[in-house]
Each structure stands twice: as structure tokens, then as C-alpha cells.
């Protein structure tokens, strides 16, 4: 690896001033599960790493009246154990359970997953579905950006030099809602998504009609996508396979995948439709409180 400095600030203020001092040559280090390998390959050569894991603001994992706050440095292993997330933000748990293996989850953060801005990031579609908003702090103060507008290209995002992602916050989940994330990978675990789909649905009291739905897609475009129309056309419709198929069709229309070692373009388009239907079915089942078991990889 190239030569660099390592800093471990304990407050956001300190971290931001370190970022400023290194003047664009520092990179935040969360779990390091993307960054350390990328540095080993010479893809990034920052002059300094700012370890963000000791900063209190980035380690928050709690709910208040505004909803759920997930600090950018919180590792997946904490998220999957958090009771409220397990009850209400299940898509996020589904995502965090399958990022890497157990060892990776001990370190990998949702913030790092998002800031790495890979098209196939497994948590991002769930963040989109659950209406996550990024809280970003920088020299010019704090700003908020909806997750679906965060990534701008493969490995690229809206962060400006000196800025840090502090947390992602989610609105409270309405009653009768459910969410799910799943991906297609050739193996059953330890693989990068060929296609990933996250969806959150809200039903009416009867549990038969969809009030609102949001769908996030991964690995089918240069950035994770919010399939806005696919979700919108479900509003007011019965929660059944006919409607799920319509949503799948709409989702297929907005994807622009590539052919690579993980799958062909045609395959990805096809599977997008398949997964959108499966994910909606599962999200609805969860919204209804029906028993639903999900075996990752199957």
C-alpha cells in the first residue's frame, strides 16, 4: 500500500477540521471494507485516513419523534440487532444481513456502503425504499440530501471536499407497512448483487389496498435507482400479483444495466422484473403481519 497518515478524531468538529486541514487529500475511513482494498489496488491514494468510528454523532442508532437515525459509521452487525429496526425497517435488516459475510458485517457500515457509491451496494435500495435522507456536515454547515439523489455515478456522489456523511435518517414507518430487500447472486452468500431490489409498502386498514409504495433498484444502472413511477402506479391499487407485475414492467423500463462478469444486460433487465414482484409480495406479506420467512440466497 502507498504511504499515508492515520487520524482518529473523537468528535465531528475535530473530524471536519482534520478534513479541512488535509485539504481534499484525506478520506474518511469507516469499516474499511471497501477502502482498504481499493487502496491496496492503488485505486485511491489519500494522504490521510480520518477514522470516523470513534465519533459519537456517526455512531447514533436510535429512534425519536422524527424517526430513525442511523449514524454513518454504525456497522451492519449493530443494525441487524437493533429491535426497532427489526420490527419496522426490515428491508434495512435484510440488506445488512447479506453485505459480505459475518466478518465483513462486523465492520462494514451503511454509511460506507452509500459513500462508496457502488451501483450494486446492497443497502442503498433499502435506504431509498425507506425514504432515507442523508445528513451531511461540512465546512459550510449541514445539509440534507435524499438518498436517491446522493449517488451521481459509479463511485461518485454529491459529497464535496471536506464533507462527511453524518447519518441517514428515516421517517417513522406508518401502520400497516412492510418492507423487504433481496438480490440475485449466483452463490447464496458472499457475492455482489447482479440485481438488488428494495421495496416498502403501506397498506390501508383492510390490508388489501396499497396506499403508497417506494421501490429502490441496485446494479441495473450507473447508480442505485429510485423506481418512482413503478411505486407511484401502485398507490390506490389492490395488493395483488397483477399490480406487482405492472410495477415490475415499469421498473424494467427505467433500468440501463451493463454486461459484465456478474451478468448480462438482458439478464439483469429480466431479473429486475422478477425481483420487483417477489419483493413486493414479501413487503405486503410483512405489512399484513403474515408469516414470511426469507432465506438469503434462495
Partner 1 sequence: MATADKRPYKVIGTRPVRHDGADKVTGRAKYGGDMRLTGMLYGAMVRSPHAHARIVSIDTSQAEALPGVRAVVTSADMPAQGDRVVELGEGAANMRHLTANILARDKVLYRGHAVAAVAADNVHIAEQAARLVRVEYEVLQPVMNVLDAMRDDAPILNDDVRTESLGAAPQSPDQSRPTNIAKHFLFEKGDVAKGFAEADLVIEHEFDTAMVHQGYIEPHNATALWNTDGRITIWMSTQGSFTARQQTAELLRVPVSSVKVVPMEIGGGFGGKISVYLPPVAALLSRKTGRPVKLQMSRADVFEATGPTPGSHMRLKLGVTRDGRITAGEAWIAFDAGAYPGSPVGMACMCVFACYDVPHGRVEGFDVCVNKPRTNAYRAPGSTHVAFAIETIVDEICEKLGLDPLEFRLKNASREGTRRVDGPVFPRIGMVETVQAIRDSQHYQSPLAGPCRGRGVASGFWFNVGMKSSVTATVNLDGTVSLIEGSTDIGGTRTSIAMQLAETLGIAAEDVNPTVVDTDSIGYTDVTGGSRVTFATGIAAVEAARDIQRQMVQRAALLWDVDPAAVKYDDGRLLGPAGKQFTFKELAAEIHQTGGPIIGSGTSSSATQGGAFGTHCVDVEVDPETGKVQILRYTIAQDAGTAIHPSYVEGQMQGGVVQGIGWALNEEYWYDDRGTMRNATYLDYRLPTCYDVPMIETMIVEVPDPQHPYGVRGVGEVPICPPPAAIANAIYHAVGVRMRRLPMSPPNLLSEILQRFQD
Partner 2 sequence: MAKKRVVSATINGEVVEFLCEPRQTLLEVLRDTLDMTGTKEGCSNGNCGACTVLLDGRPVVSCLVLAMEADGSEIRTIEGVARGSHLDEVQQAFLEGAALQCGICTPGFIMQTEALLQANPNPTEEEIRFYLAGNLCRCTGYDKIVRAVQAAAQKRLATT
Ligand X SMILES: Cc1cc2nc3c(=O)[nH]c(=O)nc-3n(C[C@H](O)[C@H](O)[C@H](O)COP(=O)(O)OP(=O)(O)OC[C@H]3O[C@@H](n4cnc5c(N)ncnc54)[C@H](O)[C@@H]3O)c2cc1C
Footprint of partner 1 on this chain (CB under 8 A)? 1-3, 42, 184, 186-192, 194, 260-264, 266-267, 270-271, 274, 297-298
3-state secondary structure 240-274: CHHHHHHHHHHHHHHCCCCCECCECHHHHHHHHHH
106 interface partner picked from partner 1, ligand X, partner 2, none, CB below 5 to 8 A per type: partner 2
Query: Which of 101, 238 has the CB closer to partner 2?
Result: 101
Q: How far apart are CA 253 and CA 215, in angstroms?
A: 14
Q: Do the beta carbons of residue 225 and residue 196 sit within 8 Å?
A: no
Q: According to CB under 8 A, which one of 53, 180, 252, 268 is a site residue for partner 2?
A: 53
The answer to the question of residue 167 lying near ligand X (CB under 6 A) is: no
Q: How far apart are CA 206 and CA 242, in angstroms?
A: 18
23 interface partner picked from ligand X, partner 1, partner 2, none, CB below 5 to 8 A per type: none
Cell numbers linked to 122: 446492497
In the complex, least distance from residue 117 CB atom to partner 2, rounded to whole angstroms: 19
Query: Which of 98, 128 has the CB closer to ligand X?
Result: 98
Q: According to CB under 8 A, which one of 23, 86, 87, 103 is a site residue for partner 2?
A: 103
In the complex, least distance from residue 33 CB atom to ligand X, rounded to whole angstroms: 3
Please report which residue ranges of the chain form alpha helices under DSSP H: 12-21, 35-40, 76-79, 83-88, 90-96, 102-105, 110-116, 124-129, 228-232, 241-254, 265-287
Identify which range of 26-34, 110-118, 139-147, 267-275 contacts partner 2 by CB under 8 A: 26-34
**Which is nearest to 188 in space by CA: 272, 97, 279, 111?**
97
Task: Tell me which DSSP letter residue 160 carries.
Answer: P
Which parts of this chain interact with ligand X (CB under 6 A)?
27-35, 37, 52, 58, 72, 98-100, 104, 107-109, 111-113, 115-116, 121-122, 159, 164-165, 192
Amino acid at each position: 500500500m502507498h504511504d499515508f497518515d492515520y487520524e482518529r478524531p473523537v468528535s465531528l468538529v475535530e473530524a471536519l477540521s482534520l478534513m479541512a486541514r488535509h485539504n481534499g487529500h484525506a478520506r474518511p475511513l469507516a469499516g474499511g471494507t471497501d477502502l482498504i482494498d481499493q487502496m491496496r489496488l492503488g485505486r485511491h491514494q489519500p494522504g490521510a485516513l480520518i477514522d470516523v468510528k470513534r465519533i459519537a454523532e456517526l455512531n447514533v442508532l436510535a429512534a425519536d419523534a422524527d424517526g430513525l437515525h442511523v449514524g454513518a459509521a454504525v456497522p451492519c452487525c449493530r443494525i441487524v440487532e437493533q429491535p426497532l429496526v427489526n420490527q419496522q425497517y426490515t428491508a434495512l435488516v435484510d440488506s445488512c444481513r447479506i453485505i459480505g459475510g459475518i466478518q465483513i458485517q462486523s465492520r462494514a457500515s451503511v454509511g460506507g456502503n452509500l459513500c462508496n457509491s457502488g451501483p450494486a451496494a446492497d443497502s442503498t435500495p433499502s435506504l431509498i425504499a425507506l425514504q432515507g435522507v442523508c445528513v451531511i456536515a461540512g465546512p459550510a454547515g449541514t445539509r440534507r440530501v435524499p438518498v436517491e439523489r446522493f449517488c451521481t455515478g459509479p463511485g461518485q456522489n454529491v459529497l464535496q471536499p471536506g464533507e462527511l456523511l453524518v447519518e441517514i435518517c428515516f421517517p417513522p414507518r406508518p401502520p400497516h407497512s412492510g418492507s423487504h430487500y433481496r438480490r440475485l447472486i449466483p452463490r447464496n452468500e458472499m457475492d455482489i448483487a447482479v440485481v438488488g431490489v428494495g421495496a416498502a409498502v403501506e397498506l390501508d386498514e383492510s390490508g388489501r389496498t396499497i396506499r403508497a409504495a417506494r421501490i429502490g433498484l441496485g446494479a441495473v444502472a450507473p447508480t442505485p435507482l429510485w423506481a418512482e413511477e413503478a411505486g407511484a402506479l401502485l398507490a390506490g391499487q389492490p395488493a395483488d400479483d397483477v399490480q406487482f407485475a405492472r410495477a415490475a414492467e415499469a421498473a424494467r423500463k427505467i433500468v440501463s444495466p451493463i454486461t459484465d462478469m456478474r451478468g448480462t444486460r438482458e439478464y439483469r433487465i429480466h431479473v429486475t422484473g422478477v425481483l420487483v414482484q417477489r419483493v413486493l409480495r414479501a413487503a405486503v406479506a410483512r405489512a399484513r403481519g403474515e408469516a414470511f420467512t426469507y432465506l438469503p440466497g434462495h
